[in-house]
Amino acid sequence: MQKRIASIAVSTALLAFSAGSAMAADAIQVGHLATYTGPTSAVGKPYGQGVADAMTYINNQGGINGKMLDFDTVDYSYNAPRAVATYKKWMARKKPVAIQGWGTADTEALVQFVSKDKVFFMSASYSSHLTDPTGKSKHVKAAAPFNFFYGPSYSDGCRGLVQWAAEDFKSKGGSGKPKFIHMGDNHPYPNAPKAACAAYAEELGFDVLNPIVYSLKPGDFKAQCLSLKDSGADYAYLANTSGSNISLLKSCNTVGVDTQFLSNVWGWDENAMKATGSVGNGLAWVVGASSWKDDNPGMKTMREVSKVSDKSGKEARPLHYMRGVCTGMFMRDAMMAADKAGGINAVNMKAAMENMKDHVPAGMEGACTPHTWTAEDHRGTVDVMVYRSVDGEAQKMEKIYTAKLPRRDEWLGM
């Protein structure tokens, strides 16, 4: 993976240099903050590869009306201060019109910078704090007019899981109030949906228990699992990424925990299924795009994009790769619209995104989900697809539910 990523960066640089000064003047500068190392690298690698492959594919298809993307990929190892320092270096040199970002701590730290500098920012953080472009919500510290992301927010994802859990509890003949518990590291990313999801769980009739903290870094979590067992929780929401979730499920299996696990969109994937085998069977989690095994028109394009870094076309990509590609393609469509509107800049790209209604990137039909943004609301979708891990060894999953959440005003930014 590292070699593939390095080759993309080198080829992009060579492309920019070989085109000469004329192309350099027309090139569209894009920053790419990636996490190929660090505690979230298990999911950061495939997502970042998807973003990078999408941008190279866009160039191979003629760029944005002939203008090439000159993108700089930096592995910041999930270190927020390093991400901020990288941003400042970019602004001092290339002044990117757009940035493809990653984590919650760094994306939220950069909100006021990108707002002031007018930089279009698409992140892999789905924090609801990034969904209020005007700053009217009491739940946000600052407006985030230039921030967008693909998929439901962490809060809405958790709400969707809780909605499914409420129906699941009833279908199994449960009596009384089901018990819900949040589990995750004490960090901006796992904490992002905690309050919002707890409030919705209570609204749906759950007894919300005190959260349990476990590290984003894989480890021995038997102590946390014993606490979970003692709590009697019926449903446990795992807010970390898959690396630590794999460790948690194995530890919980060892001490005999009998709880229905739920996971956020970064907390589970095909690699986690393979690593846990039957231990992970039954886990329900949020899925935001097609899987590699799906057959639809958009997945045909997805497989062509994948050949950028896998010439053989044989490598099966995990779910996060597909979301990375979808994110890159939404940015492409915003750039195409901005170019027609007078120029590729953050202001025009923002306007383009805010005029998208049930939009799916061209060529990605069926693979990427429809999104709608407005100047008042940057929640691209409030539909949450819930999947269940069926057979870890065969990496088999099934779609079991789609939550159609209300777009409540009071949930904006929460």
Q: What is the pLDDT of residues 284-293, one digit of tens each?
A: 999 999 999 9
From residue 239, give the alpha-carbon distance in Å to each of 66, 103, 182, 242: 42, 14, 7, 9
C-alpha 253: how far from its chain's center?
28
Average pLDDT over residues 309-320: 97
Two tokens at 20?
Answer: 């000469």
C-alpha 388: how far from its chain's center?
18
Contact 256, 229 (CB under 8 A): yes
Other residues' Cβ atoms within 10 Å of the Cβ of residue 71: 28
d(CA 298, CA 138): 39
d(CA 284, CA 234): 13
Average pLDDT over residues 12-22: 39
Residue 325: closest CA among 15, 8, 134, 54: 54
CATH class in words for 2-152+294-354: alpha beta
Give the amino acid at 143: A
Q: What is the pLDDT of residue 24?
A: 52
Q: What does the pLDDT look like over 172-231, one tens digit per residue?
A: 999 999 999 999 999 999 999 999 999 999 999 999 999 999 999 999 999 999 999 999
Domain 2-152+294-354 and domain 155-291+383-411, same fold? Reply is: yes
d(CA 289, CA 326): 8
Fold entry, domain 155-291+383-411: Rossmann fold (3.40.50)
**Phi, psi dihedrals of residue 270, rounded to the nearest 5°:** -65, -35
Classify residue 93 by burial, with Cβ atoms within 10 Å: 0-12, 13-18, 19+. exposed
From residue 128, give the alpha-carbon distance in Å to each of 142, 240, 241, 298, 373: 12, 16, 18, 27, 14
The answer, yes or no, to whether residue 124 has pLDDT greater than 90, is yes
Q: What does the pLDDT look like over 241-258, one tens digit per residue?
A: 999 999 999 999 999 999
Tell me what percent of the residues of the chain surpass a pLDDT of 90: 93
Residue 26 pLDDT grade (very low, low, confident, very high; cuts 50, 70, 90): confident
Average pLDDT over residues 34-51: 98
Torsion 69-75-80-86 (CA) sign = negative
Residue 25 pLDDT grade (very low, low, confident, very high; cuts 50, 70, 90): low
Q: Where in the chain are the domains?
A: 2-152+294-354, 155-291+383-411
Classify residue 113 by burial, with Cβ atoms within 10 Å: 0-12, 13-18, 19+. middle
Which residue matches tokens 């959440």? 405
d(CA 396, CA 389): 6
d(CA 128, CA 350): 18
**Phi, psi dihedrals of residue 173, rounded to the nearest 5°:** 80, 25
